[in-house]
Amino acid sequence: MEAEERRLFVCDPACVQEIGHNVHALRYFKEAFENKFHCVIPICCEVLPEQVAQREGFQRLYRFYYSAYFSNVEAKSEQDRESDGNSFLLSDFQEQVATEDAKKIFQRYQITSSDVILFPHLDFYGVIGLLNALDGMPPKQRPTVFLRFIGVMENATPQYFSPVNELLFRIIVSAQRGTRFRVSAETPRYADAVAHVLQMPVAVTGYPLEPQLAPLPNDGPFFFYCPGSARADKGFFELREIFQEVRRRDPECNIRFITQNLPHREAKHHLNYIAQLYAIPGVSIQDGSVSAEEMKRTYQMTHAVILPYATDIYEYRGSAVLMEAAAYGRPAITYDGTGLAEVVRYFNLGSVVGARTDMVYAAIDLARRSRNDIEISARQAAFRFHTDNLRSYDAWFDI
Amino acid sequence: MMGNSKLLFIDHAFHKKTLSSDFFIQVLSSDFDISIIHLNPHESLNEEIIDKASNVDYILLWQMDYLAPIFLALGKPVIVVPMYDGSATLPALHWLAQSRALFINFSVTLHMRLQALGLESKLLKYFLPPVSSENRASFDEKLKVFIWHRRPEHGINVALVERLLGDQIGKLHVHDAPDDKNIDGRRYVRRTGTYELRVTSWFENFDDYLDVLSECNTFICPRRTEGIGIAMLEALSRGMLVLAPDEPTHTEYIANWTNGILFHPDAPQPANVLDVAGELGLRAWTGACLGYDAWIKQAATISNFIRTADRPAPLSIEKSTIVEFGQELSQAFYNGHGDYDSFLQRHLRMLSAVSGLSSAEILDKRSGY
């Protein structure tokens, strides 16, 4: 089949709001593969504001399966969430709705075996619904399914003790029934774990970001940035101790920090903590929601990022923030024991430390290094990461 | 050439004495023609004030937040500058009634609470110009402590200083000038240690105060909570060791044991600080230097923010009715939180009209506050 006849459907049922990496990520994947396919059709959740979807060229189709996990996002209405009744009865309501949505895609776009369906950061119900819908299609007519595991929405259901294992089991069953899968994961550790279960090769694919290397500010204080949504699992509640310990060792404030705040709804439960963070000399706090432009400006004015991510939750996971920092040429300091730490170590994207005290010393050491030296290292790391990532995507998409 | 917009600045009469809003008026004065009204507690709105308000472009309420619904009802763009010490415990309805106002907050705690209610708030962090490095507070053998007995009856007094610092005190200067003139501050000036004690009760001018402050290196913040905390900022800008109650806005300027010390005024624990006092003072001063630079940049953005204030449609109510409502509102406010909350609940329809929120939205937001 000629490449120009193939269509790529980039599917993200969890793309629902214009904060964090939600919209960015789908855009990245839409743009990254435009030259490989006849056309690329990104499909998001119907809850994403219409003007955002129009601006981005996304098709709003999926109903929202994850209200329980996003307190600030609601399904459009109870009526919209109801099943259309054309599907076989499943005990899990969300699975039934997701199956109907997948069938709707098949029908609307007349999906054929030359098409490719990509879940760039897969979610439980989106994939389960797809697999159910594929079950009703003769194997030879089925599209090829590309699944990319990033360790975020795989477990977003209360129905199973280990949702990701249920998902992997269903993928195995679907493959046995004739569906063609190509699988990747965001980190080497996760890829190895998934490959072990699926017993098929699993590629390692980072964020498909072009490097946008920004010159490192050459004079003035050394700025660390803690970008991305401020959350407990991303180490927001580690920051006060880290910042204070650095400040005690750097009373002249040669090292400064910029961090994003908690979202408004959550901030009110942590006012004392935030007040103390705000009180530390040399610390600036951005709003809970930061525009892409402001984030870019902040990357440009800062020198490095601090990612004190939780080692249990991020055991297999990577980090979009890490990939962005790498693309801007900003080294990261992160804790050992996570999926992203292995990426940092292998590509020399920064340094990996064992404990909070080590992070404090690593930050001080990094700030003392020559800026030129840091910049050269960061450029080399970004080059290695990017070229390796491109090759990995090429291999993954070599169908 | 067009003249500046007119802004009516309504302030608490107490600030006529403390001058604590002067810096803000100064910031606005190049962009607005400002007229000022100082209101005494319990002083009711009258037709003269309403007439003045009718002739200006913006109303700015400095700590007089409860009046916002009146001016919103008149169809005026309203900017509210609430203070943590006066407004932190006010009920949700108080804020929701002002939903169409713009807020300028000097407390991050209050700022985030209002944002959580969906109100538009700009956060500012004020700092005073720091002294030069050579004029920073110096630390030698023992501490030279300054305390202003503003609220000695609230537990911030000589006994507290002795409890906190004990025999680390070399000298203690007590400025015995309580806010409440009915309080006999001398009752709280009881020395049990062997340090040198000096007491003043009046400064001829501000420079006299600064002269005394410059002879000290340790500052005890005089109130449990603050709106901004100008006295604390003065001490930080001089690189003094600052000890403050662990309530906003102190907690928003002092990171405990990093650039000062926070204590619980009801259960103060001895603080062994002599070895680190100099470092804490240095960080306080460095923070003030950075903070002052940032404040200068923030100050330049305030006028434009004010100009974005919503101009609500005026309610079709007689002036006399508005004045009457304003008088009842003031009365309820000064009767205490219970009466005030009850008053607001009884006037939900009015609050809905001025806030642009339906009664259901008001009650829904209130329940989540």
> Are the beta carbons of B249 and B270 closer than 8 angstroms?
no
Q: What CA–CA distance (Å, rounded) separates A181 from A130?
A: 12
Chain A contacts to B (CB-CB under 8 A) = 240, 244, 247-248, 251-253, 261, 264-265, 267-268, 271-272, 274-276, 278-282, 284-285
Q: What CA–CA distance (Å, rounded) separates A382 from A212?
A: 9
DSSP string, A5-63: G-EEEEE-TT---SSTTHHHHHHHHHHHTGGGSSEEEEEEETTS-HHHHHHHT-EEEEP
- Find which of A266, A268, A272, A277 to mutate to test the B interface (most B CBs within 10 Å of its CB): A268
Record the tokens describing residue B210, joined without a space. Answer: 């600064």
> Are the beta carbons of B367 and B86 closer than 8 angstroms?
no
Q: Predicted confidence band at A84 (pLDDT cuts at 50, 70, 90)?
A: low
Task: Find how far residue A133's CA is from the centre of its chain.
Answer: 26
Record the tokens describing residue A134, joined without a space. Answer: 């594929």
CB atoms within 10 A of CB B23: 14
Q: Establish if B290 touches chain A: CB-CB under 8 angstroms.
A: yes
Q: What CA–CA distance (Å, rounded) separates A387 from A391?
A: 6
The confidence score (pLDDT) of residue A1 equals 44
Contacts of B228 in chain A (CB under 8 A): none
Tokens 């005290």 found at: A357
Q: Mean pLDDT, to the nearest integer, of A112-127?
A: 96
> Are the beta carbons of A46 and A75 closer than 8 angstroms?
no
pTM for the full predicted model: 0.89
> B133-291: same fold as B5-101+309-367?
yes
Q: Mean pLDDT, to the nearest integer, of A360-385?
A: 97
Record the tokens describing residue B81, joined without a space. Answer: 């500058």
Q: What CA–CA distance (Å, rounded) separates A147 from A121?
A: 8
DSSP H helical segments within A177-207, as ranges? Answer: 188-198
Q: Establish if B366 touches chain A: CB-CB under 8 angstroms.
A: no
3-state secondary structure of B314: coil
Closest CA to B351 of B90, B98, B48: B98
| Helix, strand and coil in chain A, % to nearest 5 | 45, 15, 40
| Neighbour-count burial for A154-188, b at 16+ CB within 10 Å, e otherwise | bbbbeeeeebbebbbebbeebbeeebeebbbbbbb
Closest CA to B97 of B310, B369, B356: B356
The confidence score (pLDDT) of residue A75 equals 58
pLDDT above 60 (res A86) = no
* Range B5-101+309-367 classified under CATH 2.60.40: no
Q: What CA–CA distance (Å, rounded) separates A303 from A320?
A: 18
**CATH homologous superfamily of A222-383:** Glycogen Phosphorylase B; (3.40.50.2000)
The confidence score (pLDDT) of residue A292 equals 81
Contact B248 A275 (CB under 8 A): yes
H/E run at residue A259: strand A255-260
Topology of the domain covering A3-205: Rossmann fold (3.40.50)
Distance from CA of A271 to the nearest CA of B (A): 6
The confidence score (pLDDT) of residue B15 equals 82
pLDDT digits (tens, 9 = 90+) for A22-42: 788 899 888 888 888 999 999
The confidence score (pLDDT) of residue A22 equals 79
* A236, amino acid identity: F
Contacts of B294 in chain A (CB under 8 A): 284
Listed by start position, the domains of chain B span 5-101+309-367, 133-291
Listed by start position, the domains of chain A span 3-205, 222-383
The confidence score (pLDDT) of residue A5 equals 77
Distance from CA of B137 to the nearest CA of A (A): 15
The tens place of each residue's pLDDT in chain B, 369 residues long, gives 567 899 999 998 888 877 889 999 999 999 999 999 998 877 777 888 999 999 999 999 999 999 999 999 999 999 999 999 999 999 999 999 999 999 999 999 999 999 999 999 999 999 999 999 999 999 988 999 999 999 999 999 999 999 999 999 999 999 999 998 898 888 898 888 889 999 999 898 999 999 999 999 999 999 999 999 999 999 999 999 999 999 999 999 999 999 999 999 999 999 999 999 999 999 999 999 999 999 999 999 999 999 999 889 989 888 888 889 988 999 999 999 999 999 999 999 889 999 999 988 888 888 877
The confidence score (pLDDT) of residue A79 equals 40
**CATH homologous superfamily of B133-291:** Glycogen Phosphorylase B; (3.40.50.2000)
Closest CA to A11 of A50, A58, A54, A43: A43
Q: What CA–CA distance (Å, rounded) separates A112 from A108?
A: 12
| Percent above pLDDT 90 for chain A | 77
Q: Predicted confidence band at A3 (pLDDT cuts at 50, 70, 90)?
A: very low
- Cα torsion A363, A368, A371, A373 to 10°: value is -90
> Are the beta carbons of A223 and A301 closer than 8 angstroms?
yes
Q: Which residue has the higher pLDDT, B47 or A248?
A: A248
DSSP code for A226: E
Closest CA to B216 of B150, B142, B316: B142
Which of B116, B125, B251 has its CB closest to that of A276?
B251
Closest CA to B66 of B361, B336, B363: B336
Q: Establish if B276 touches chain A: CB-CB under 8 angstroms.
A: no
DSSP H helical segments within A348-370, as ranges? Answer: 356-368
What residues does B78 pair with on adjacent strands? B59
> Are the beta carbons of B8 and B56 closer than 8 angstroms?
yes
Contact B258 A252 (CB under 8 A): no
Nearest CA in chain B to A247: B258
Q: Mean pLDDT, to the nearest integer, of A228-246?
A: 92
Record the tokens describing residue A16, joined without a space. Answer: 């629902």
Q: What CA–CA distance (Å, rounded) separates B182 from B286?
A: 39
Contact A244 B255 (CB under 8 A): yes
Nearest CA in chain B to A264: B116
> A222-383: same fold as A3-205?
yes
- Find which of A223, A278, A289 to mutate to test the B interface (most B CBs within 10 Å of its CB): A278
As a whole number, the mean pLDDT across chain A is: 91
The confidence score (pLDDT) of residue A211 equals 87
Distance from CA of B349 to the nearest CA of A (A): 27
* B4, amino acid identity: N
Burial class (CB in 10 A: 0-12, 13-18, 19+), A382: buried
Contact A268 B252 (CB under 8 A): no
